[in-house]
Chain A
Amino acid sequence: MQFTLNGSKREISGNSAARLIDVLREECLLTGVKEGCGEGECGACTVLIDGEPVCSCIIPAGQVEGADVVTIEGLGGNHPLQELFMNEVGAQCGICTPGMIMAAMKLGDAPTLEDVKTALAGNLCRCTGYSAIYRAVLKWKGMPEPENADKMVVK
């Protein structure tokens, strides 16, 4: 079975009913793809298939035949959003972060806060309450922090 993985052609063997996440993590050694629930609920395993965010824990590997698959590793190590996730503390424990970043990849230009929330509604984070994630994503898109939202005052 052949597909494009992070920009390179890749051939894998084995059962095409194997979950894509297992093939990516165990055969392709891309452990940036995280498993949080195994039921498509938490989004930690999000990858892009032909540009669309999907949960790799509920997709049979056979379905990516001929497709273009991008994991967090495919963004390289210095994507601006990666740095922003760290600086804005959009990543705390970090386990949801790769999936969050991959889900954010689909956002268009000049997204509103609502656009960001909707794009990330399929990704659970238990650490941040999401606000810092919005800050990271909006900053990446060159958008200002929403007025009135989450102002921090230190006295």
Chain B
Amino acid sequence: MKTAVSEMDLRRATSLDEALQILRDEKRMPIAGATDVYVASNFGTLVQRQFLDIWALDELRTIAKRDDTLVIGALTSYTSLMQSHLVNEHVPMLARASGLVGGVQIQNRGTLGGNIANGSPAADGVPVLSAVDAVVVLRSVDGERRVGINEYYTGYRKTVMRPDELIIAIEIAPIAGKQWFRKVGTRAAQAISKVVMAAVRSDKPRIAFGSVAPTIVRVPQTEKILASGGSIDVAAYVLSRELKPIDDVRSTADYRLRVSVNLLRRFWADTADG
């Protein structure tokens, strides 16, 4: 059953402090670009009815370098990520992933913080964050804490974020090694991913997948094989045992697994020296 709009209540915050106070006092789900709110309400899967609109918090839209770390405000849109010199310089695969989210309309509204908070295993941006061990900065009236993106999800659309917290920024430490990203979607644009892979080639390769598990995942066993100088054939075999994708309306488990393995091989070939 669709959620009736009359059941929904939206309150707008005009500053971060106000937003945090509201989250302390009221049970509200923060929304930014709202790209999934009405989709969920159409689908009948919308749980919350009380929302906090944080779209106006421009203070969360900055992209800056603090020491060597790239700090991206949670409300940075995909359009801004694509256009940011800092992002293109520091983590070009994030700019690339952003350009493959939805169409222009969604890129203008969808935010990196929203992509994380929404918790979809098919999120396009999160595998990149996972591969670079990004840190999610959460703030509440009680203070701030930092959680590694790979410790952030506890299950399908479940996270460690408390109801009184807000994602305010994402931090990315300097990345040593070649970055590699591939989204395999349902079509060439405006597509939901069937398999996403983001990886960094270095002494200790870091490899993340989307759409193949209940959350975005890293593949530690596969990474370990490659880090210890194991062959790509062995790594491919290990990956095929490490991932357990499922069938859904968009793709099949078999396809996802086969493509994941092929992408791993292509990553390895593409990022080889020389």
> Which A residues lie at the B interface, using CB under 8 A?
15-19, 22, 38-41, 43, 46, 52-55, 57-60, 62-63, 65, 103, 106, 118-124
Interface contact B104-A16, CB-CB below 8 Å: no
The residue of chain B having its C-beta at the shortest distance from the C-beta of A19 within the complex is B38
Q: How far is the CB of B3 from chain A (nearest CB, A)?
A: 10
For residues 43 through 64 of chain B, which have their beta carbon under 8 Å from a beta carbon of chain A?
A: 51, 53, 55-56
Where chain B touches its partner, the secondary structure class is mixed
Q: What are 23 residue pairs bridging A and B, where the CB atoms are less than 8 Å apart in the complex?
A: A15-B5, A16-B10, A17-B5, A17-B8, A18-B5, A39-B38, A39-B39, A39-B42, A41-B190, A52-B79, A53-B105, A60-B34, A60-B51, A63-B34, A65-B12, A103-B105, A106-B104, A120-B103, A121-B103, A121-B104, A121-B190, A122-B189, A122-B190
B51 touches A17 (CB 8 A): yes
Q: Mark B20-47, 1 if CB is under 8 A from A, else 0.
A: 0000000000010011111100100000
Question: Which of B34, B42, B104 meets A59, CB within 8 Å?
Answer: B34
Check A15 against B104 for contact (C-beta < 8 Å). Answer: no
CA separation between A124 and B75, bound complex, in Å?
27
Chain B interface residue count, Cβ-Cβ cutoff 8 angstroms: 29
Q: Give Cα A130 to B53, complex, Å.
A: 36
CB pair B53–A63 under 8 Å, yes or no, is yes
Instruction: Give CA–CA (A58, B42) in the complex, Å.
Output: 10
Q: How far is the CB of B108 from chain A (nearest CB, A)?
A: 5
Q: Is the CB of A53 within 8 A of B108?
A: yes
Q: Chain B residue with minimal CB distance to A56? A: B105
Chain B stretch 187-220: residues in CB contact (< 8 A) with chain A: 188-190
Closest to B43 in A: A39
Q: Which residues of B contact A122 (CB under 8 A)?
A: 102-106, 189-190
